[in-house]
Amino acid sequence: MMAAPAVLRTDQPARGDDLSTPALRANLGILADWEAELARILLSEGQGHLFENWPPPLNADADKHRFFKQVQKLDASYPGGLRAYISNARKLLQESRDGVNPFDGWTPSVPSGEVLTYGNTAFSRYEAEGVRQANDAAFVLVAGGLGERLGYSGIKVALPSNIVTDASFLQTYVESILALQDASNAVAEDRDDGCQCLPGVCPPQWTSFFPARTVPSGPRRIPFAIMTSDDTHARTQKLLEEHAYFGMDKDQITLIKQEKVACLADNSASLALDPDDKFRILTKPHGHGDVHSLLYSSGLLKDWQAKGVKWILFFQDTNGLIFKAVPSSLGVSATRSYDVNSLAVPRKAKEAIGGITRLTHKDGRKIVINVEYNQLDPMLRSSGYPDGDVNDPSTGFSPYPGNINQLVIKLESYVKELSKTRGLVPEFVNPKYKDSSRTSFKSPTRLESLMQDYPKSLSPSADIGFTVLDVWLGYAPVKNNPEDAAAKLAAGTPPHSATSGEAALYRANCLILRAAGAKVADPRTVRYNDQETEMWPRVVWSPKWALTLADVKAKVRGASVEIAQDAVLILDGPEIYLEAMKLDGALVIRSKEGAKVRVAGLDVRNKGWTFQSIGWQDRREPEELRVRGYKLVKREQKEIEFDKPGEFVVSH
């Protein structure tokens, strides 16, 4: 409970401009002690304008108390309170007005990291190590937004990642964590001597490359935290409850709600009132950088540390491929002992995606951070690179890999750092000025923060690196509505729509099957919602069937598996082995735990399932279909299900 502060007495004026706010002085008698203290803080920070139009006592008193309830929340939710927020705002607003370049004194250079090649020995080694480390990890999903930007009115994590299985993004994430948990616990039970690769994956000399590990007593559960907002909290909770937490234990999942911050009306950091409600301060989201302060203030970090957690993986809400990249990235972090590992993809020079960059200050400080693409090129040009950001002729890509805002952080160093900063990462402000004088705003602004800016606060001794993976394997965000996506595609940039995100899932699964030796037909070019894309055979498997390439290779007998161009294949079960199969149509195989299914000599030919084009503005169809531009038509399929333990062979 908040301690009662001293009463603000009318015969002892508060510091600040209280004499110019007689309306507040007239109302002091109705305020509780804690409300009077908050008023004193506001006055001392030059916010007397908030009270100028207050009526006398006995008029709108409930609204006045409502005002202080909001102020109390704003004060409590920001590290250091409103004093710190206003002070930081004034500094950043002054720098913005003066045109201060935040990168003055810094020189860019190519950072050090790991560039992975899918399917080679090193990649398989890192995947195996990542699975081994998974039950020493916790996962954090940043899910504070609605899907309005992509044309979907619900919470983004409720959107189906694909319409063949209709699994939502949240379902996919939870089931992936559970599959990692089971796989990691199984490895821990088998061995405790360092490398946990499958036989034949690692040469003997690599075994000592991995640190030995004490096997925990009993199976471990991977903690999962979800950062929500006022817009998404209740709906996220409801989604979890309606689906029995998608199989995860209820106490494994923690929702941490992000609060908004006060808007700023001018360069003096005057807090902005709602024009329709003089008893309410305008607020806006502070950005996903809040995830760090929320983890700190919630006590989760100490709890996780006590349970033996060593790594935290941060990921965004609508990237359906991310868990295909998680095992190898976690393996890199553990092997290299990175304090921070940024997941990245190959990036073309000047491509509209931030680049991971090493910056060296003239005073000797060094950091590895994301630099936005529109800042990176001019920074390079002003630092002795006259051509700016250019592709490396040997790779065809920029030497500055593309940041995808997924992080692996070492918990031990993270806790030490947050004990100093309370989780506040460097902020920025982006006011929209009315004119070149930069004296007034078009609309109120606010301070913002980014999750990936955490490394900016670290000491030079921190080990910060990156892991570059193929785009097709780990990056297919869904964030744009059909119209915006079509415009981006026409401009030569990725559309990042529900259409492209689903197509990317099928592409990744087909390429993984090919890497395992299966014969998978080439894609066909299709057009939905004015977006031309490649549609591969629609192959989807549950995370419990396979997490890594080694899993797929163990369950697919290469060239004996053939999948036609328009085929649909759903595999949902932990032990389904494709030994010999030809598929030209739709095939669904489901099996329960304990059922070992061998598909040997199966030849499936039927009318299959098709995608039927629909209009983006066709209100007769649900939003989750309209944003894709198609719906699923099930014409004919073969469904095989095994709901009891045992060994089974499917041959016809």
595 located within any domain: yes
Element of type H or E holding 579: strand 576-584
To the nearest 10°, the Cα dihedral for 433, 437, 438, 440? -70
Write out pLDDT tens, residues 320-341. Answer: 999 999 999 999 999 999 999 9
Query: Which tokens go with 546?
Result: 């396979």
Block residue for tokens 């007689």: 22
Is the pLDDT at 215 greater than 70? The verdict is no
- In this predicted structure, the answer to whether residue 632 has a pLDDT above a threshold of 80 is yes
Res 196: pLDDT = 45
Identity at 16, one-letter amino acid code: G
Cβ 115 vs Cβ 109: under 8 Å: no
Which pLDDT tens digit goes with each residue over 202-213?
544 444 444 444
Predicted pLDDT at 501 = 98
Same domain, 124 and 56: no
- If asked whether residues 415 and 466 sit together in one domain, one would say yes
pLDDT at 13 over 60: no
Residues 262, 391 share a domain: yes
pLDDT digits (tens, 9 = 90+) for 582-629: 999 999 999 999 999 999 999 999 999 999 999 999 999 999 999 999
Domain check: are 446 and 588 in the same one? no
CA angle (247 as vertex; 591, 294 as ends), nearest 5: 145
Least confident of 143-147, 292-296, 414-418, 474-478: 143-147
Rg (C-alpha) for the chain, rounded Å, is 27
Residues 295 and 274 in one domain: yes
Asked whether residue 409 falls in the same domain as residue 537, the answer is: no
Top pLDDT among 351 and 86 is at: 86
318 and 384 inside one domain: yes
Residue 84 lies in a domain: no
- Domain residues for the domain of 452 are 106-188+220-473
CA angle at 408 for the pair 406 and 414, rounded to the nearest 5°: 120
Helices (H), 422-548: 471-474, 482-490, 498-515
Let me know whether 45 and 175 are in one domain.
Answer: no
Task: Taking the CA atoms of 238, 168, 145 and 301 in sequence, report the sign of the dihedral they define.
Answer: positive
- Of the pLDDT bands very low, low, confident and very high (cuts 50, 70, 90), residue 20 is low
**Residue 174 is part of a domain; what is its CATH number?**
3.90.550.10
Please give the angle made by the CA atoms of 308, 343 and 375, to the nearest 5 degrees.
Answer: 130
What average pLDDT does the chain have? 91
Looking at per-residue confidence, does 382 or 337 come out higher?
337
Q: Per-residue confidence at 642, pLDDT binned at 50, 70, 90?
A: very high
DSSP per residue, 284-344: E---TTHHHHHHHHHTHHHHHHHTT--EEEEEETTBTTHHHHHHHHHHHHHHHT-SEEEEE
Q: Is residue 196 part of a domain?
A: no
Is 275 a member of any domain? yes
The residue that leads in pLDDT, 492 or 119, is: 119
Q: Are residues 603 and 519 in the same domain?
A: yes
**pLDDT above 90 coverage of the chain, percent:** 84
Of 449, 473, 497, the residue at which a domain comes to its end is 473
Angle at 279 between CA 275 and CA 285, to 5 degrees: 70
Backbone angles phi, psi at 241, to 5 degrees: -65, -40
> In this structure, are 404 and 335 located in the same domain?
yes
Query: Which pLDDT value is given to residue 5?
Result: 34
Closest to 280 (Cα-Cα) out of 288, 271, 289, 268: 271
Report which of 130, 122, 250, 243 is spatially closest to residue 180, judged by C-alpha positions: 130
Q: What pLDDT does 299 receive?
A: 96
Q: Could you say which of 473, 494, 513 is where a domain stops? A: 473
Report the interhelical angle of 322-336 vs 169-190 (nearest 10°).
Answer: 40
Query: Taking Cα atoms as reference points, which of 521, 576, 587, 580 lies closest to residue 554?
Result: 576
Q: List, in order, residues 6 or more apart from 187 with CB less than 8 Å away.
A: 131, 132, 196
Based on the fold, state whether residues 291 and 314 are members of the same structural domain: yes
Could you tell me if residue 199 is inside a domain? Answer: no
Q: Specify whether 457 is located in the same domain as 336.
A: yes
pLDDT surpasses 50 at 88: yes
Tell me how far CA of residue 275 lies from CA of 278, 281, 351, 433, 444, in angstroms.
Answer: 7, 9, 40, 19, 11
% of the chain residues with pLDDT over 70: 92
Domain count, the chain: 3
The CATH code of the domain that includes 611 is 2.160.10.30
Contact by Cβ (8 Å): 151, 481: yes
Residue 208 lies in a domain: no
Helices (H) and strands (E) in the chain, counts: 17, 30
Q: What is the pLDDT of residue 7?
A: 32
- Say how far residue 293 (Cα) sits from the centre of its chain: 16
Assigned domain for 537 exists: yes
Contact between 624 and 152 under an 8 Å Cβ cutoff? The reply is yes
CB 192 within 8 A of CB 186: no
Q: Does residue 302 form part of some domain?
A: yes
CB 176 within 8 A of CB 167: no
User: What integer is the mean pLDDT of 144-153?
Assistant: 89
Adjacent-strand bridge partners of 196: none
Determine the pLDDT at residue 351: 85
User: For 496-545, how does the pLDDT look when each residue is reduced to its tens digit (9 = 90+)?
Assistant: 999 999 999 999 999 999 999 999 999 999 999 999 999 999 999 999 99
pLDDT of residue 200: 44
Domain end among 420, 439, 473: 473
pLDDT at 198 over 90: no
Mean pLDDT for the stretch of residues 440-448: 96
